[in-house]
């Protein structure tokens, strides 16, 4: 049982009159209860009830609190829109609740920015104001249960508890057996987010049409000029990925139904057509080149045309599995009848370029600072590829990075010998030599701060999410909790103490009792403050949401160590 009381012994009030007085466990329970009802009505195709429940949810205080919290505790909370307003204080967040009203609502234009892509090009982003982000988060709470309940089973992008590794695993399932499909349609939609037809969205997206129309027509500001938005859902809005998913939902189900109606169910299965989609990227398998070229490709083009989209002629192609294809940073290819999935050469080149730029851009920093810059990058890339055949790619990447670091080290001391440079920057750790590391002093004594060893990353087969999983269906509740805990534990396994705390708290914040996720973030809180003599032992630490951590300190709230259920 989790107990949060003030240090004077008084209980927290259930009727909030400020941001820090909110009972987030109750807020989450209220919102989730409504979302479960919306999802149930969706599964029963009771669209009048769906609309009524959505309208009810978006007017509740709980949903508005949840929406404001979501947009103020993610990474984008530090980026302002065209009004330059940030909700960076409890007072501004509490005041924002009263501004989330449908009546009189008029979104401001988006602030256009560009971020670099791996291929050297730039990706356009539209940054909404904080108020518009919160309104999108509010209506997303009502749209997401519908989207999840109507999504294709093998759609994995921007959905709860689904990832690129799930898409990769599904392709392995569809193509790894001796009698599996041998051909693949690699599809690429030309500027998906920028070209979705607004009229189609307004007529087909199950949400408040007036609010949706205002977002779509808000326009954007670039270099001081207002530009109209006649099509598309600009990337950057919190609701844009879900709108794109709703647009492409049906690609799998309707294609399979079309083939079944044309050829009969038994013959359609023999065609081995499988669709695997991650956001706007997808591949379609088939038993022959002809079925993909004559049946699937034209159908997909017609499906997309109705939504204002089209395939890229340059990037869309049909490939044999023995030749191989790239998808989501991996290369899928059959070698002597065995399907192997490896990091793609393009992905490896882009990552090495990023590492090299980091090293070249920090020629004069301390070695420890460079290691701290590189380690998250190296760990992230290695972890991403840990479910596939990546040992060879790991070794090659380590070799390339070592050469770059050796040049970085030699450049700093042009008059010193190679042996002197080696002894200063490289050390031995057990059976490992030439470890790029620096001696540091820790609480436990002296040690080495070393560069993350890519080749030491364990290769583990990914356990794919079940295609029918619906996070808003009570029947999947236990499965969803186990999946969330397992994936958080897997992704953070390099931080053993963190995993111990997370598992001891059942993955819940020790203050509000709501789930700790990558999106919410977390802080490590000492029950007895270190300035008062508290230790760093696990028994004196708990994990809290960042907002809960600030609330605990501001309200002088004593948090107890939760007992695992």
Confidence of residue 151 (pLDDT cuts 50, 70, 90): very high
Encode pLDDT of 119-135 as tens digits: 667 788 889 999 999 99
Helix, strand, coil % in the chain, rounded to nearest 5: 45, 15, 35
Cβ contact 514:73 at 8 Å: no
Q: What is the mean pLDDT of residues 61-89?
A: 91
Q: How far is CA 442 from CA 369, 394, 492, in A?
A: 16, 29, 22
Q: CA-to-CA distance for 549 and 138, rounded, in angstroms?
A: 24
Encode pLDDT of 13-50 as tens digits: 456 888 988 888 899 999 999 999 999 999 999 999 99
Confidence of residue 563 (pLDDT cuts 50, 70, 90): low
The position carrying tokens 């007085």 is: 21
Query: What pLDDT, on the 0 to 100 scale, is given for residue 557?
Result: 84
Q: CA-to-CA distance for 496 and 501, rounded, in angstroms?
A: 9
Q: How far is CA 337 from CA 172, 182, 327, 342, in A?
A: 13, 10, 20, 16
Angle between helices 47-58 and 24-43 (to 10 degrees): 160
Query: What pLDDT, on the 0 to 100 scale, is given for residue 489?
Result: 79
Encode pLDDT of 241-276 as tens digits: 999 999 999 999 999 999 999 999 999 999 999 999
Q: CA-to-CA distance for 559 and 197, rounded, in angstroms?
A: 51
Query: What pLDDT, on the 0 to 100 scale, is given for residue 388?
Result: 97
Query: What pLDDT, on the 0 to 100 scale, is given for residue 444?
Result: 55
- 3-state SS, residue 115: strand
Query: What pLDDT, on the 0 to 100 scale, is given for residue 13?
Result: 45
DSSP sequence for 407-463: HHHHHH-TTS-HHHHHHHHEEEETTEEEEEEEEEEETTEEEEEE---GGGSPP----
Cβ contact 188:304 at 8 Å: no
Q: 179: how many CB neighbours lie within 10 A of its CB? A: 7
Query: What pLDDT, on the 0 to 100 scale, is given for residue 230?
Result: 86
Q: Which residue has the higher pLDDT, 228 or 391?
A: 391
Closest CA to 282 of 189, 197, 215, 206: 189
Q: 103: how many CB neighbours lie within 10 A of its CB? A: 4
Query: What pLDDT, on the 0 to 100 scale, is given for residue 12?
Result: 41
What percent of the chain lies above the pLDDT cut of 90?
68
Predicted confidence (pLDDT) at residue 7 exceeds the cutoff of 50: no
Confidence of residue 1 (pLDDT cuts 50, 70, 90): very low
Query: What pLDDT, on the 0 to 100 scale, is given for residue 521?
Result: 81
Query: What pLDDT, on the 0 to 100 scale, is given for residue 556?
Result: 78
Calculate the average pLDDT of the chain: 90
Q: What is the mean pLDDT of residues 389-404?
A: 97
Predicted confidence (pLDDT) at residue 341 exceeds the cutoff of 80: yes
Closest CA to 37 of 61, 17, 53: 53
Predicted confidence (pLDDT) at residue 559 exceeds the cutoff of 80: yes
pTM: 0.88
Predicted confidence (pLDDT) at residue 216 exceeds the cutoff of 60: yes
């Amino acid at each position: 049982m989790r107990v949060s009381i003030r240090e004077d012994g008084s209980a927290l009030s259930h009727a909030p009159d400020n941001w820090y007085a909110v009972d987030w466990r109750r807020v989450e329970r209220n919102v989730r209860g409504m979302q479960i009802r919306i999802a149930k009505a969706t599964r029963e195709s009771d669209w009048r009830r769906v609309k009524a429940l959505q309208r009810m949810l978006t007017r509740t205080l709980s949903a508005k609190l949840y929406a404001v919290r979501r947009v103020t505790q993610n990474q984008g909370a530090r980026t302002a829109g065209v009004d330059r307003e940030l909700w960076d204080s409890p007072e501004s967040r509490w005041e924002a609740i009263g501004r989330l009203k449908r009546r009189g609502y008029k979104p401001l234009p988006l602030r256009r920015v560009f971020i670099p892509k791996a291929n050297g090009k730039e990706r356009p982003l539209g940054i909404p104001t904080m108020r518009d982000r919160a309104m999108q988060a509010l209506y997303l709470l009502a749209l997401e249960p519908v989207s999840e309940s109507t999504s294709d089973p093998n759609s994995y992008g921007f959905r709860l508890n689904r990832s690129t590794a799930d898409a990769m695993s599904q392709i392995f399932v569809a193509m790894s057996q001796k009698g599996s499909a041998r051909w693949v349609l690699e599809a690429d939609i030309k500027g998906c987010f920028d070209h979705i037809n607004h009229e189609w969205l307004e007529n087909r997206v199950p949400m408040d049409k007036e609010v949706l129309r205002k977002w779509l027509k808000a326009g954007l500001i670039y270099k001081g000029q207002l530009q109209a938005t006649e099509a598309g859902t600009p990337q950057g809005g919190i609701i844009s990925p879900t709108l794109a998913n709703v647009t492409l939902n049906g690609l799998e189900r309707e294609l399979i139904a079309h083939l079944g109606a044309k050829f009969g169910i038994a013959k359609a299965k023999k065609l081995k057509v499988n669709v695997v989609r991650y956001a706007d990227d997808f591949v379609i398998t088939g038993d022959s080149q002809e079925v993909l070229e004559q049946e699937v490709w034209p159908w997909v083009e017609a499906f997309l045309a109705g939504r204002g989209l089209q395939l890229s002629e340059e990037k869309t192609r049909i490939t044999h599995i023995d030749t191989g294809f790239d998808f989501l940073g991996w290369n899928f290819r059959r070698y002597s009848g065995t399907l192997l999935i490896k990091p793609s050469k393009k992905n490896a080149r882009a990552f090495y370029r990023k590492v090299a730029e980091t090293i070249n851009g920090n020629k004069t920093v301390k070695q420890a600072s460079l290691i701290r810059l590189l380690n998250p990058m190296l760990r992230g890339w290695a972890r991403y590829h840990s479910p596939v055949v990546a040992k060879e790619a790991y070794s090659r990447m380590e070799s390339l990075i070592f050469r770059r670091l050796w040049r970085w080290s030699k450049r700093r001391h042009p008059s010193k010998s190679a042996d002197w440079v080696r002894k200063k920057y490289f050390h031995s750790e057990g059976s490992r030599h030439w470890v790029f590391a620096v001696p540091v002093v820790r609480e436990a004594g002296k040690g080495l701060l070393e560069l993350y060893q890519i080749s030491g990353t364990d290769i583990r087969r990914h356990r794919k999410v079940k295609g029918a999983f619906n996070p808003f269906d009570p029947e999947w509740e236990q499965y969803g909790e186990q999946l969330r805990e397992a994936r958080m534990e897997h992704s953070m396994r390099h931080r053993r103490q963190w995993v111990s705390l997370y598992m001891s708290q059942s993955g819940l914040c020790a203050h509000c009792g709501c789930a700790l996720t990558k999106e919410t973030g977390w802080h490590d809180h000492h029950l007895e403050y270190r300035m008062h003599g508290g230790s760093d032992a696990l028994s004196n630490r708990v994990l809290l949401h960042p907002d809960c951590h600030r609330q605990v300190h501001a309200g002088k709230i004593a948090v107890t160590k939760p007992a695992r259920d």
